[in-house]
Amino acid sequence: MTRGSTRRRLLSRGIAGALAALAGCSQTSTTSTRTDGASSTTESPKSTAATPDAVALETVATGFDAPVAVAFVPGEDRAYVADQVGEIAVLESESRRDEPFLDLRDSIEFGGERGLLGLALHPEFAENRRLYVRYSAPRRAGTPSNYSHTFVLAEFRATADGRRVNRETERTILEVPEPQGNHNAGDVAFGPDGYLYVAVGDGGAGGDQGTGHVEDWYDGVDGGNGQDVTENLLGSILRIDVDERADGRPYGIPDDNPLVGRDGLDEHYAWGFRNPWRFSFDEAELFVGDVGQNRYEEIDLVEAGGNYGWNVKEGSHCYGADECPDGTPDDVRGGEPLVDPIVEYPHAGDGVSGISVIGGYVARGPALPALEGAYLFGDLQTDGRLFAARRPDGGGDGGGGRWSATVVDVVDRDRGKLDRLLSFGRDHDGDVYVLGVGSDGGGVYRLVTPTEG
């Protein structure tokens, strides 16, 4: 339901510019040149499975500024929507309560890619009412004075009725100094193993270079938080145990994290990312949408200890060099492959293209039976389109190989609802939702099969 009293802080700052910066550096689609001199425009792969031509957007709630996450409560007709400006709203029976679930506006650094960026409910939320919030805070102790802000991951507890959060219950879980204001990633989610996964960008600026970007093993391009696993937690997917406290940390480290007992920070689960803005699980599979620099966007199927290439590669292509390796040297963790994405698309061309990938979910629900098993994702610059990717053989376990990706149009009557796509969600029935900004302001919409009329 529309909330008449919603603030319009994004409008005063220039909503188009703020949202174009939200998930990446590039703001326009232009043909670029590859390091081998060829055009970067590529033909989108053809689908090997039937995919519907269009989907409709069923309105769930509007009146947000920039909705970036939705979390559905197991066993309850309730959901929470995180708004980048600093509030989390309560939806009950798809109606928005006037009183916010949590208001962090006085605690966050907001603007561009900063703000309230991620939300996850504990797997036992129905019993313990614990939730985890990722937000950008002013510089805290330990963050250098020439850095932009501090990444904060915090635990809160909701009231028994699930309608409010007591601010006094906040417990800081993790802080990460952020050199620049962009490439913050921000998504958080519990995996099927019960551990919390946290996406962290490379620290900002461009090319993974500059202030706060350390040197790494690759000499082709300066900098490299994406390839470093010893100096900081930037450019990685982290995996922590929020139910434990160990070694002076407010969280535990899973024993099977890939760098435990090796050279590197124990929190790392996978690395080589630039700006993994949104990610999701489908059973045991972890899908990460990693925003590219200025030529290619990518979806990665992530496994423990995987190195996904940045800033050696942008997608499957060399970044900033005429030639690049396909793996690390033998003296860097014994040599490890640079894993190519399962989906890659260019910033210009027909078909699947755009400027900043928005990672999505595998469809498993009754609202879109024709897309069962397809990975649905999109781009910040929607142009009335979403994308669907399927495994190379239309099934199987997804082990290796490029997935086929096709355009799925939003029906004409709903195109105006989604000028800028910000995020996705999936409920416990497996239905997929899109979050974005359009003619109704910021909104949450369920993807459904179009009907006549």
Confidence of residue 94 (pLDDT cuts 50, 70, 90): confident
Inside any domain, residue 37: yes
* 162 contact partners, CB below 8 Å, separation of at least 6: 73, 76, 78, 90, 129
Report pLDDT for 45.
Answer: 39
Instruction: Scan for tokens 């490029």, then name that residue.
Output: 402
Radius of gyration of the chain (CA): 20
pTM of the model: 0.90
CA dihedral 355, 359, 363, 364 (to 10 degrees): 180
Q: CA-CA distance, 78 to 64, in Å (whole number)? A: 17
Q: Whole domain around residue 256: which residue ranges? A: 9-448
Confidence of residue 53 (pLDDT cuts 50, 70, 90): confident
> 179 pLDDT exceeds 50?
yes
Per residue in 160-173, pLDDT tens? 999 999 999 999 99
Write out the two tokens for 277. 């803005």
CB 177 within 8 A of CB 286: no
Inside any domain, residue 2: no
Residues 5-15, mean pLDDT to the nearest whole number: 37
Phi, psi at residue 412, to the nearest 5°? -55, -40
Mean pLDDT taken over the chain: 89
Inside any domain, residue 407: yes
Give percent above pLDDT 70 in the chain: 87
Per residue in 99-153, pLDDT tens? 999 999 999 999 999 999 999 999 999 999 999 999 999 999 999 999 999 999 9
Inside any domain, residue 3: no
Residues 259-288, mean pLDDT to the nearest whole number: 98
User: Which alpha helices (H) appear in 121-190, and where do they start and end?
Assistant: 125-128
Helix (H, G, I), strand (E, B) or coil at 414: helix
Domain total in the chain:
1
Closest alpha carbon to 369 in 430, 434, 285: 430
Write out the two tokens for 106. 């006085």
> 219 pLDDT exceeds 50?
yes
Q: What is the CATH number of the domain that holds 146?
A: 2.120.10.30
Q: What is the DSSP string of 274-293?
A: S---EEEEETTEEEEEE--S
Inside any domain, residue 338: yes
Confidence of residue 21 (pLDDT cuts 50, 70, 90): low
Confidence of residue 400 (pLDDT cuts 50, 70, 90): low
Per DSSP, what are the bridge partners of residue 337?
A: 327
13-17, 85-89, 257-261, range with the lowest pLDDT: 13-17
CA dihedral 14, 19, 21, 22 (to 10 degrees): 140
Inside any domain, residue 300: yes
> 440 pLDDT exceeds 90?
yes
Sign of the alpha-carbon torsion through 59, 65, 68, 71: negative
Inside any domain, residue 453: no
Q: Are strands 404-410 and 54-64 parallel, antiparallel or unpaired?
A: parallel
Report pLDDT for 401.
Answer: 81
Phi, psi at residue 210, to the nearest 5°? 105, -160
Inside any domain, residue 393: yes
Q: CA-CA distance, 188 to 118, in Å (whole number)? A: 6
* 325 contact partners, CB below 8 Å, separation of at least 6: 218, 312, 338
